[in-house]
Amino acid sequence: MIVLLNIEQQSLELYNEDGINKIFFSNIEEIYNYISPDQKVYYVTNATETNLEEIIKLVDSITGRQTTIINSNIKYLQSVSKGPLNISDPNAKADEDDVILRFINCYDLKIYDNNMEEKIKKYPILQNVIRSGKIKIINEIEKNKLLTQKRKENQKNKKKEGIKEKKEKSLIIDKPVADIADTMYDDMDDNIETIEVSEINANFKTETEQIMNQIGRR
């Protein structure tokens, strides 16, 4: 177990395999619920401020891996709209294409380079759209998260399509139409024949009984 002293929050933070538990100084007696008197713990009194890149390099030095460091200085423009978004120049001439920037959807990113920066400076409408939040400036890490989200959505949509196709196939009759029609007519013929024979037998029986009754009376 690792014990960290948090002076700002006036608490102890206990880290173990079960997770993190926080004990405020005012309730210090609760520590007995997590640490036994004879148990040894790591009490961290010193820490070094660092950044993400240094942490990755440290882990790589231990594991022998070579993790690609993401360049967080690369920026992109992202539309927050799930559908198409066209930004037009209100001052464009009638014979000119007035669309300054087109986005197919929220995954259609535009790199924020020097050319894009100059375009934003040139067109106040772009500045207004960015300020309004309809377009965001994101970095490489945020871009990767967005693409991961896109992959998950694609997988979800494929799964839905698979279920839909499976249901549609279950409704399709695999017999030819002619065979189905013949079967229907055969069933109808069987019913008709049964009805006809039953009716004839019933009528014959009734007529025979009437004749025998007449003979008996004589």
Q: Report, as an integer, the average pLDDT of 105-124.
A: 92
Quote the pLDDT of residue 213: 59
Asked whether residue 52 is assigned to any structural domain, the reply reads no
Structural domains of the chain, count: 3
In degrees and rounded to multiples of 5, residue 193 shows phi and psi of -60, -40
CB of 130 closer than 8 Å to CB of 66:
no
> Is the model's pTM score more than 0.85?
no
The reply to whether 133 and 183 lie within a common domain is no
Range of the domain at 183: 174-218
Whole-number Å distance between alpha carbons of 134 and 87: 11
Whole-number Å distance between alpha carbons of 81 and 78: 9
User: Which residues make Cβ contacts (< 8 Å) with residue 2, sequence separation at least 6?
Assistant: 14, 15, 16, 41, 42, 43, 44
Quote the pLDDT of residue 115: 93
The reply to whether 187 and 161 lie within a common domain is no
52-64 tens-digit pLDDT: 778 788 878 888 8
31-85 tens-digit pLDDT: 888 888 888 888 877 777 887 778 788 878 888 888 777 776 789 999 999 899 9
The neighbour count for residue 85, using CB atoms within 10 Å, is: 18
